Amino acid sequence: MAIYRPWTKYEEIDLKRNYGKVDVEEIAEQLQRSVPAVKTRAWHLGLCPKQKKLFVLDSELIALRKQGFTYGELSKKLGIHKSTIKTRVRNIGINNESLRKHTSDETDSQLQDQVQVA
């Protein structure tokens, strides 16, 4: 069983400087870390291009899900694989239950507005 070794500031600086420019295998060898450890740390540091794209699209993703777009429609519209959309939706907490609550809250609010107008 491997023992966890915390990342040092110097390792993180080296990773930030080299990630995306040097092969991950080479970075892993230089840092004496496994390839999965390097990839995971890069992800946690926000160095993965897909990850950056997703965080930028979160607000758009939330808005489109609330409008009722399916995962397939979102995939086509945003240019991101359907399974990635599903995972991101789960990770940022826009599940079907929260969408139903949001939709029913809007409907209740709209009904109240109509009643007040009448």
One domain for residues 67 and 104: yes
| Single pTM value for the model | 0.45
Is 4 part of a structural domain of the chain? no
One domain for residues 34 and 58: no
One domain for residues 57 and 105: yes
Task: List helix spans (H) across 3-95.
Answer: 9-18, 24-31, 35-44, 49-66, 71-78, 82-92
CA dihedral (97, 99, 101, 106) in degrees, to 10, reads -170
**Residues forming a β-bridge with 19:** 22
Higher per-residue confidence, 11 vs 117: 11
- Interval 89-118: pLDDT, tens: 887 777 665 455 444 444 444 444 444 444
One domain for residues 109 and 61: yes
**Is 2 a residue whose pLDDT tops 70?**
no
Domain, as residue range, for 27: 9-44
Is 1 part of a structural domain of the chain? no
